[in-house]
């Protein structure tokens, strides 16, 4: 029995975790840094947490940019912090998979008399399948790391889209105010002409109605800007004084050289971390199939030792072996369930790949369509509207058109500018959605999430 105890002690003390929790999170952090240029901090009560909080406060004091908003979200979003704990849970499962079950000690004393019987047993099957269980748990850890990384990249894309959406709505609100001012001037001119008896009641009512509608449009624009601001607040985890941030009220122009859209589908399939996570889940399930059936049948296979003290002060010791006899349960249910689970994961993997390709195409087409509208507006529509205003001004100076015609031309110019801004906003939002669909940057080199060569070979 001493040999059995020594073996159990050796196995129990030799199952240290292969990779620390910090190392696992570092893999995720490095991947996010390579794809976004921003750092990730896991809030676990360390001195670095206070440093991250000070950094967030400093960023909020300056006008937000897309990158600073993303950095704040990565450090301050509580749902994201909760997601990081999945790595800790998976790491704990790896540790647990490397541990043997505690041996069972039983003692029996019979009265009257002095008979004493004691035994110590443990499930021998645990020793055989210990490496296989650890391998499957490590694959699940890699899946958890990939899921966490995917959630981080989703937040990055959502913050970027929300930023541009809010920025565009602010710019549209400013243009709406210009339209309202023009409508107010037109309504005031109509009122003065009506009082002088130079215009009809219908003309006055029409101008006043247009002014009222313009004021309603301004109110709707303000409400929309409030909604998108709060959407961004949620994503960056801002509350209290943190919500008093400012932002530049004008969208940037699209880049002169558009990103190459060829091969984006293949790139997405290569670097989408939710797809990587599903591959690791399938790998873990496939590895579990190798021992699940045998473990189910032989889980009561016990080995140990017994000590007996008889009444006549006689002692005896000996081994104990308990072997289950599979008369009814051959593990067929466990095997069928595991195979079905593996097939299910394989089909979901293929389905997710199809969905990813579709999302990439849809976001790409929205981005390119919005870009085409922006380019056409700036090259054709806006110059044409500006020319109409200039010609209308000349005609008005020559008293060939009315003031209403001139004001209407200016309103149409502003409306054309609003359509251009809407397209510009839609472009940047669609670009962020495309990055989300691709799973990271639209160009450049991707890095592997895991440094575990054993796991990487099994992909």
Q: Which tens digits make up the pLDDT trace of 293-351?
A: 666 666 666 677 777 766 666 777 877 776 766 666 666 777 788 889 889 999 999 99
- The pair of three-digit structure tokens given for residue 328, joined into one six-digit string: 């009814």
Report the 10 Å Cβ neighbour count for 18. 14
Q: What is the DSSP letter of 302?
A: E
Q: Which residue has the higher pLDDT, 237 or 183?
A: 237
What pLDDT sits at residue 12?
Answer: 44
**Interval 351-370 mean pLDDT:** 94
Closest to 417 measured CA to CA, from 190, 228, 251: 251
Tell whether the model's pLDDT for residue 85 goes beyond 50: yes
Q: Lowest mean pLDDT of 200-204, 318-322, 373-377, 451-455, name the range.
A: 451-455
Tell whether the model's pLDDT for residue 375 goes beyond 90: yes
Handedness of CA 310, 316, 322, 323 (dihedral sign): negative
Tell whether the model's pLDDT for residue 19 goes beyond 50: no
What pLDDT sits at residue 300?
Answer: 63
pLDDT in tens, 190-217: 888 888 888 788 888 988 898 898 899 8
Phi and psi angles of residue 247, each rounded to the nearest 5 degrees, phi first = -150, 145
**Interval 429-451 mean pLDDT:** 77
Report the 10 Å Cβ neighbour count for 350. 11
pLDDT over 90 for what percent of the chain? Answer: 38
Q: What is the DSSP letter of 240?
A: G
Q: Which residue has the higher pLDDT, 295 or 415?
A: 415
Overall size of the chain counted in residues? 459
Q: Which residue has the higher pLDDT, 312 or 138?
A: 138
Tell whether the model's pLDDT for residue 43 goes beyond 90: no
Please answer whether residues 42 and 81 qualify as being in contact, where contact means their C-beta atoms are separated by less than 8 angstroms. Answer: yes
Tell whether the model's pLDDT for residue 18 goes beyond 50: no
**Interval 386-398 mean pLDDT:** 88
Measured CA to CA, the distance from residue 97 to residue 137 in angstroms comes to 7
Please answer whether residues 145 and 455 qualify as being in contact, where contact means their C-beta atoms are separated by less than 8 angstroms. Answer: no
Measured CA to CA, the distance from residue 295 to residue 334 in angstroms comes to 10
What pLDDT sits at residue 112?
Answer: 66
* C-alpha to C-alpha distances, 72 to 234, 325, 399, 441, nearest whole angstrom: 11, 60, 58, 19
Residue position matching structure tokens 């971390």: 273
What pLDDT sits at residue 162?
Answer: 96
What pLDDT sits at residue 311?
Answer: 66
**Interval 257-261 mean pLDDT:** 85
Across the chain, mean pLDDT equals: 82
Q: Lowest mean pLDDT of 156-160, 220-224, 266-270, 288-292, name the range.
A: 288-292
- The pair of three-digit structure tokens given for residue 14, joined into one six-digit string: 């030799």
103 pLDDT band, cuts 50/70/90, is: confident
Q: Which ranges of 196-259 does DSSP label H, i.e. alpha helix?
A: 201-236
Q: Which residue has the higher pLDDT, 432 or 26?
A: 432
**Interval 86-96 mean pLDDT:** 87
Q: Lowest mean pLDDT of 8-22, 123-137, 222-236, name the range.
A: 8-22
Measured CA to CA, the distance from residue 18 to residue 312 in angstroms comes to 52
Tell whether the model's pLDDT for residue 373 goes beyond 90: yes
What pLDDT sits at residue 32?
Answer: 86
Q: What is the DSSP letter of 249?
A: S
459 pLDDT band, cuts 50/70/90, is: very low
What pLDDT sits at residue 69?
Answer: 95
Please answer whether residues 449 and 36 qualify as being in contact, where contact means their C-beta atoms are separated by less than 8 angstroms. Answer: no
Phi and psi angles of residue 315, each rounded to the nearest 5 degrees, phi first = -120, 150
Segment of 99-103, 187-191, 352-356, 444-448 carrying the highest mean pLDDT: 352-356
**Interval 442-448 mean pLDDT:** 61
SS3 119: strand
What pLDDT sits at residue 310?
Answer: 67
CATH of domain 2-447: 1.20.1600.10
């Amino acid at each position: 029995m001493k040999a059995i105890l020594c073996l159990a002690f050796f196995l129990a003390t030799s199952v240290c975790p292969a990779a620390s929790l910090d190392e696992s999170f570092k893999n995720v952090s490095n991947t996010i840094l390579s794809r976004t240029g921003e750092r990730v901090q896991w809030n676990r009560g360390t001195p670095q947490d206070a440093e991250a909080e000070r950094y967030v406060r400093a960023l909020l004091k300056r006008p937000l940019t897309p990158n600073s908003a993303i950095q704040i979200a990565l450090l301050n979003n509580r749902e994201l912090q909760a997601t990081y704990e999945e790595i800790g849970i998976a790491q704990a499962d790896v540790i647990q998979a490397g541990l043997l079950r505690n041996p069972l000690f039983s003692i029996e004393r019979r009265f009257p008399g002095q008979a004493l019987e004691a035994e110590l047993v443990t499930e021998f099957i645990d020793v055989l399948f210990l490496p296989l269980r650890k391998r499957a748990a490590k694959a699940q850890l890699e899946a958890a790391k990939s899921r966490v990384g995917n959630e981080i990249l989703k937040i990055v894309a959502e913050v970027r889209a929300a930023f541009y959406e809010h920025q565009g709505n602010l710019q549209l609100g400013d243009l709406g105010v210009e339209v309202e001012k023009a409508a107010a001037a037109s309504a005031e001119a109509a009122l003065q002409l009506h009082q002088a008896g130079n215009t009809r009641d219908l003309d006055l009512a029409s101008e006043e109605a247009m002014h009222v509608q313009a004021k309603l449009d301004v109110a709707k624009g303000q409400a929309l800007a409030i909604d998108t601001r709060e959407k961004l607040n949620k994503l960056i985890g801002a509350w209290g004084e943190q919500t008093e941030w400012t932002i530049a009220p004008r969208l940037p122009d699209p880049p002169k050289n558009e990103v190459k859209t060829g091969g984006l589908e293949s790139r997405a399939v290569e670097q989408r971390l939710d797809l990587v996570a599903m591959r690791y889940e399938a790998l873990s399930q496939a590895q579990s199939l190798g021992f699940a059936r045998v473990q189910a049948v032989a889980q009561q296979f016990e080995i140990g030792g017994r000590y007996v003290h008889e009444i006549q002060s006689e002692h005896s010791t000996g081994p104990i072996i308990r072997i289950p006899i599979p008369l009814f349960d051959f593990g067929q249910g466990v095997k069928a369930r595991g195979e079905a689970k593996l097939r299910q994961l394989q089909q979901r993997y293929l389905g997710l790949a199809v969905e990813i390709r579709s999302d990439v195409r849809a976001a790409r087409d929205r981005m390119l369509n919005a870009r085409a509208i922006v380019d056409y507006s700036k090259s054709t529509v806006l110059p044409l509207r500006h020319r109409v205003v200039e010609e209308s001004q000349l005609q008005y100076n020559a008293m060939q058109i009315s003031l209403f015609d001139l004001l209407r031309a200016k309103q149409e110019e502003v409306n054309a500018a609003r359509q251009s801004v809407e397209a510009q906003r839609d472009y940047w939002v669609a670009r962020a959605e495309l990055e989300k669909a691709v799973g990271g940057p639209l160009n450049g080199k991707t890095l592997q999430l895991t440094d575990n060569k054993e796991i990487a070979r099994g992909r």
